[in-house]
Chain A
Amino acid sequence: MSNITVSSLSKIYKVPYRKPGISASIKHFFDRKYKLITAVDDISFKIDEGEIVGFIGANGAGKTTTLKMLCGLVYPTKGIVSVSGFIPKERNAAFLSQITLVMGQKQQLIWDLPPIETLKVNAAVYGISEKEAKKRIDELASMLELNDELFQPVRKLSLGQRMKSELLASLIHRPSVLFLDEPTLGLDVNAQLRVREFLSMYNKRFNATILLTSHYMQDISSLCKRVVVIHKGRIFYDGALTKLTNKLSPYRNVRIEFDKPQTLDDLKEYCEITQIDYAIATIVVPSSKLSFVVSYLLNNYTIKDLQVIETPLENIISELIRNGTN
């Protein structure tokens, strides 16, 4: 069953603009000129309950505006949005109790106090009893590996600890729909991994629907089976991530280290040999023949090391956008 339905959604912003220079500034002060910017242009998609969908695109593509329309923060110019059966822009209390928005670059924790104080305020606002709040805090804190950090002033915490505390504050009411806007922004590799593991666990435990935007493709590839690619407010691709990678990256690079130098003449009809440097060879293999070529190599040669190098997702996405733009 679809938990999120977006149909012909558009958002047009009226933005003031002016030419550079002081005379233009004075003119602009008295006579404001505006430009209409289409941030989101007639997009439609559906997300099922419990699904994790990656929402990707370049800066200014319309990701955050879409998320904010789904939360009811920004009113759509046109189109229909339904989240868990609610119309977000009505900002019904029952709706707000079912969703959360986590923004990697903004924070709701009270800067001067320990996170536990924000958690207490949030628990009360969501009508959670003290006993239940304590139970939920303990549960989420153990999933996030947070302990004493909850009792130290937020300003003394590291970025990773702060983000984990933010997640706890955003999830204390156990929302079933999570809108995550770059939740791993600025975190080190370890902290990113922790956040990803937590999100995956939360999704499984509570069957939560998650719409995730991130510029770290590792977040997308490890959490999302499905991606929606947006560019200049329009959807470019909506489907399985593997299908996208296969479609746009039909070849794989394979790096092989043999025990002694090889010519690989027997492989020439299945792949392209791009480089042979003593006992190390790099070949480009069509995705469809990858398993055959790898097993052939393993059966017929003595191999010290073999690596299949995936095309980075970043390259695939920029390729997709370039194709689309052209």
Chain B
Amino acid sequence: MIKLIKKYTNFLVLFWSTSLSIELEYRLNLIVDIFTLVGNLFGSLLVLSLFYTNHHTLGGWSWSAALVVLGLFTTLEGFTSSILQPNLSKIVRYVQLGTLDYVLLKPISSQYWLSFRYFSPWGIPSIIVGFLISIYGVISTSNQFNTISIICSIIMIISSLITLYSIWFILATTSIWFVKVWNVNEVLKSILIAGRFPISSYPNIVRTIFTFIIPIAFLTTIPAEALLGRLDVYWFLFSLIISATLLFTSIRFWLYALNFYTSASS
């Protein structure tokens, strides 16, 4: 098992170093990307400062506590830009061009290859800034960090990343049948924006949908509650069950979909 983890970690280092080499190949593009990134971050912080100057509550959450949710949302956005977007959006193209053949012929988990082959550095600042905002939010609520809340928070954040990844991968898998599923990515991104605010700030019906149908609550609100040290043990376990179930489903669904892969014609 340790050997396997080591092997797949080595792959990751190699995969991501070639991805960075690709980014470095186009110098002008790199400069433009840096400008875009700085602009985006500046814009987000401006919006945040506007929020912060209004000391209201949102769905029972103080603004400081809501900042934790916003911070986690920013981190997830960074994760999406760095890993999900560059990899999972390519699945559609692999299926369309038939180059998925090359992935399937390698003696490596095809799901792993398709999920982690590429890495874009442009999500890293969002990940870091998101974390800083969350920590700032926690400190502002005068909450004390303790070991248990830190461990629970880390577990919940990992759980939320797995949940987000699994939903994305399941949707990308449908391209085996439908080939063109670009729109699905866009719809998913729009829905995730709902994770920017605490789930209790939405009307009851939307809250139920975002908890039990599209598990938005498990992406930001639940990990935020863990960071604030007020997460119920049942929600903790429920979140773990949701992420494990979705991950398992994504693996089985991918293997099932491959039975229907016809490969693009020559």
Residues of A bordering B, CB below 8 Å: 13, 64, 68, 71-75, 91, 93-94, 96-97, 99-101, 103, 105-108, 110, 112-113, 117, 120-122, 124-127, 153, 181-182
Contact = CB atoms under 8 A, between A and B. Distances in A.
A100 B266 CA distance: 16
Given A106-B98, A127-B7, 13 more contacts: A72-B104, A73-B105, A73-B263, A91-B104, A94-B107, A99-B105, A106-B97, A110-B18, A110-B22, A112-B22, A122-B106, A127-B107, A182-B266
Interface stretch (B8-16, B33-41, B160-168): B8-16
B105 A71 contact: yes
A100 B105 contact: yes
A108 B21 contact: no
Contacts of A108: 99, 102
Contacts of B259: 75
B106 A125 contact: yes
A224 to B, nearest CB: 19
Nearest to B113: A125
19 contacts: A13-B262, A64-B266, A71-B101, A71-B105, A72-B104, A73-B105, A74-B261, A74-B262, A75-B259, A101-B105, A108-B102, A110-B22, A112-B26, A113-B21, A125-B106, A126-B107, A127-B7, A181-B266, A182-B266
A73 B261 contact: yes
Nearest to B18: A117
Q: Which are the 10 A-B pairs with shortest beta-carbon distances?
A: A93-B107, A108-B102, A96-B107, A64-B266, A112-B25, A112-B22, A97-B107, A125-B106, A125-B108, A124-B14
A93 B108 CA distance: 7
A120 B14 contact: yes
Contacts of B108: 93, 125
Contacts of A91: 104
A213 to B, nearest CB: 9
A106 B99 contact: yes
Contacts of A124: 10-11, 14
B265 A73 contact: no
A107 B262 CA distance: 18
A101 B262 CA distance: 16
A181 B9 CA distance: 33
Contacts of B14: 120-121, 124
B10 A68 contact: no
A288 to B, nearest CB: 40
A240 to B, nearest CB: 27
A113 B18 contact: yes
Contacts of A182: 266
Nearest to B23: A112
Nearest to A67: B266
Contact of B101 (A97, A103, A122): A103
Nearest to A104: B266
A134 to B, nearest CB: 15
Nearest to B10: A124
Given A73-B101, A113-B18, A121-B14, A68 B263 contact: yes
Contacts of B263: 68, 73-74
B15 to A, nearest CB: 7
Contacts of A93: 107-108
A68 B107 contact: no
A121 to B, nearest CB: 6
A73 to B, nearest CB: 5
A64 B266 CA distance: 7
Nearest to A97: B107
Interface in B225-266: 259, 261-263, 265-266
Contacts of A68: 101, 263
Interface string B76-101: 00000000000000000000011101
B51 to A, nearest CB: 40
Considering residues B15, B97, B107, B263, which has the most beta carbons from chain A within 10 angstroms of its beta carbon?
B107
A106 B98 CA distance: 8
Nearest to B97: A106
A112 B106 CA distance: 21
A105 B99 CA distance: 10
Considering residues B10, B15, B97, B263, which has the most beta carbons from chain A within 10 angstroms of its beta carbon?
B263
A64 to B, nearest CB: 4
A117 B21 contact: yes
A108 B117 CA distance: 13
A105 to B, nearest CB: 6
Nearest to A107: B99
Nearest to B25: A112
B87 to A, nearest CB: 14
A103 B259 CA distance: 22
B25 A113 contact: yes
